Structure 1
């Protein structure tokens, strides 16, 4: 089956219809969300789900996120998410309802106790399932047309840099005629969703940081979200922490070695990192001065400006990493993100990308 793109002379409704039928037929569909492009498969079809693992090279015990359409009915002036989740979640705690009302559709994934009919292929054999409703209009149109749940990890080889454009997906899976690709432009958010575990019904736990922060969840939903280190304290029973997407030590990794440098220490970094050779790409804050002519005498530099605003940084992170990776540099240096919750998402992605980066990054990805 050939790719379906916005560049074809197809009305959007026909494009969505073709992709929804592909999902029903057990095929894979790469589609845009506000975070990154997802590789979608029918969440009720075990063989289609297996295609996701095989195509990505993803370990079968690594759980997937189920994507669902927004509800058509309102509850007291708000979206009624309960019927949407009935197929997937055994229990829906009050904190979950508050978070859904505040942030769905959007870049927030919630982890529930799974319903009895949820496939083990989705959960990695766990008793929990991760669910989100994406905000991208094409993703919502596809989900409404399909009328079912869609598992959709990022549409890239496992452990590599996530795609934020249809062109990224085509490059990643060039020659794969069985993958339908919907071109919905560039992703706005640029990094994967925040993941919060609400499965205990006791307290909400942050499992993966993203652009929606605990501070924002408290302010907009009135829900306190704890860090994983707070899963056990003197006043609470121990809480097991589910495995979720993007939690491996090596992930989001370019083939080029990637390292972080401390403020004002970019030149020192060149002597600290033994994999430094001669051609180095250095990301510098757009608010700071250039390295100018004071570069390291043994290295050729190119400087790439990165935004000092956390949201803009996240939006451009994977695009920048992919572009630099394709240019054949010997080393990529990125500044350490500042402290603060709003930077936790990109800090998490950069640290995992550093660990997995380098020519042997495909080997790291199994960590």
Structure 2
């Protein structure tokens, strides 16, 4: 179902999607990060359909998506009524983060209200929440007047979808699915996840476009990384969250990263590599040239050397290459710096899970 934002046709399609959700059906919809596979967060049977459709382990929690309040004048926005049915308490830090970054690609983990279904929390006493910024997602949530759980609209462990066509190809023949087409996703990787459930330090559970430095600059709140030594007690009880398994976001084609200028070293780890290798190279670099490996046909694929543009194109590039029957895909290791942490995280998990046996890794 393709529609332009703001058109009368879109209103009809969104009303139909709301009806589908209310009746316990699934709706795929665009967010600014990736496409989500949505179900009514208050309907346990609908939530189970998500786990079945994706092949997702039932202890792997989902994120609840909520509509922003109608008033967008930041000084006037009151998030309390929106969050009250879902979370046990809202700290001052939580409200600062919400006012600074919602709607947007930031997920916050809270102690859950007792009414929140354990089906969506993976049996934990915490709930992950965000308000997506995409206008179609916001309109859908506003008209539903409720929460929607929406993991990425792909089969579990596979490359996340950033277009409606990706969702269609992912579930073709498997699922009678309503898909709201909102064009290509702008951010391109999943949201940053911050744990606020312990009440002591905010902890980064999944990197994304919004970095700890940006959070500190806008709010004065220091976000800790899980490895920091003064968090040892808190560490042992960190909640499980989406995208935290070692194998995830994975193409069927074997995927590896190479360090600068070391393409041939990466190849030598694959003595049985056949002849066709796709090599992603920075658009700021000179070409690889044909040196050094006579039996291999390389094809270069330019990738952006800007972290935001790289993230926006990452899953699109992985999906396209995965459909071209390469024997191996090589990606450059992202530079150091926390603006690259989100894509580095996705690439490491994609490498680990990639290859013909990726479905068995994903269940690991």
TM over 0.5: yes
* Equivalent residue number for residue 40 of structure 2: 42
Question: How is 1:75-224 mapped onto 2 (pairs within 5 angstroms)?
Answer: 77-176=75-174, 178-224=176-222
- Name structure 1 gaps, 5 residues minimum: none
Contact 1:231 1:240 in 2 (8 A): no
Which one of 253, 256, 269 corresponds to residue 253 of structure 2?
A: 256
Alpha-carbon distance between aligned partners in 1 of 2:235 and 2:275, rounded to the nearest angstrom: 50
**Residues 76 and 138 of structure 1, relative CA distance in 2, 3 Å threshold:** closer
Which one of 313, 319, 322 corresponds to residue 319 of structure 2?
A: 322
* Equivalent residue number for residue 23 of structure 2: 25
After TM superposition, give the deviation of residue 296 of structure 1 in Å. Answer: 1.6
1:357 paired to 2:354: yes
After TM superposition, give the deviation of residue 167 of structure 1 in Å. Answer: 0.1
Q: Answer with 302-311 or 270-279: which moved more.
A: 270-279
Task: Give CA-to-partner distance per residue, 1:253-291, whole Å, 9 cap, x none.
Answer: 000000000111012221123452210000000000111
SS in 2 for 1:15: helix
Alpha-carbon distance between aligned partners in 2 of 1:20 and 1:215, rounded to the nearest angstrom: 38
After TM superposition, give the deviation of residue 230 of structure 1 in Å. Answer: 2.4
Alpha-carbon distance between aligned partners in 1 of 2:297 and 2:72, rounded to the nearest angstrom: 59
After TM superposition, give the deviation of residue 95 of structure 1 in Å. Answer: 1.1
**Residues 217 and 78 of structure 1, relative CA distance in 2, 3 Å threshold:** farther
* Equivalent residue number for residue 296 of structure 1: 293
Contact 2:195 2:204 in 1 (8 A): yes
Q: Aligned residue pairs: how many?
A: 362
After TM superposition, give the deviation of residue 5 of structure 1 in Å. Answer: 3.0
* Equivalent residue number for residue 334 of structure 1: 331
After TM superposition, give the deviation of residue 69 of structure 1 in Å. Answer: 0.2
Contact 1:98 1:222 in 2 (8 A): no
Alpha-carbon distance between aligned partners in 2 of 1:17 and 1:76, rounded to the nearest angstrom: 28
Alpha-carbon distance between aligned partners in 1 of 2:347 and 2:175, rounded to the nearest angstrom: 32
Contact 1:275 1:331 in 2 (8 A): no
**Residues 60 and 237 of structure 1, relative CA distance in 2, 3 Å threshold:** closer
Alpha-carbon distance between aligned partners in 2 of 1:30 and 1:117, rounded to the nearest angstrom: 25
After TM superposition, give the deviation of residue 295 of structure 1 in Å. Answer: 5.0
1:287 paired to 2:284: yes
**Residues 137 and 275 of structure 1, relative CA distance in 2, 3 Å threshold:** farther
Alpha-carbon distance between aligned partners in 1 of 2:46 and 2:314, rounded to the nearest angstrom: 30
SS in 1 for 2:227: helix
Alpha-carbon distance between aligned partners in 2 of 1:62 and 1:76, rounded to the nearest angstrom: 34
Contact 1:88 1:117 in 2 (8 A): yes
**Residues 273 and 84 of structure 1, relative CA distance in 2, 3 Å threshold:** same
Task: Give CA-to-partner distance per residue, 1:191-237, whole Å, 9 cap, x none.
Answer: 00000000112110000000100000000111100001127448x76
Alpha-carbon distance between aligned partners in 2 of 1:252 and 1:357, rounded to the nearest angstrom: 8
- RMSD of aligned residue pairs (Cα, Å): 1.7
Question: How is 1:340-351 mapped onto 2 (pairs within 5 angstroms)?
Answer: 340-351=337-348
* Equivalent residue number for residue 245 of structure 1: 242
Q: Answer with 167-176 or 210-219: which moved more.
A: 167-176
Alpha-carbon distance between aligned partners in 2 of 1:356 and 1:143, rounded to the nearest angstrom: 33
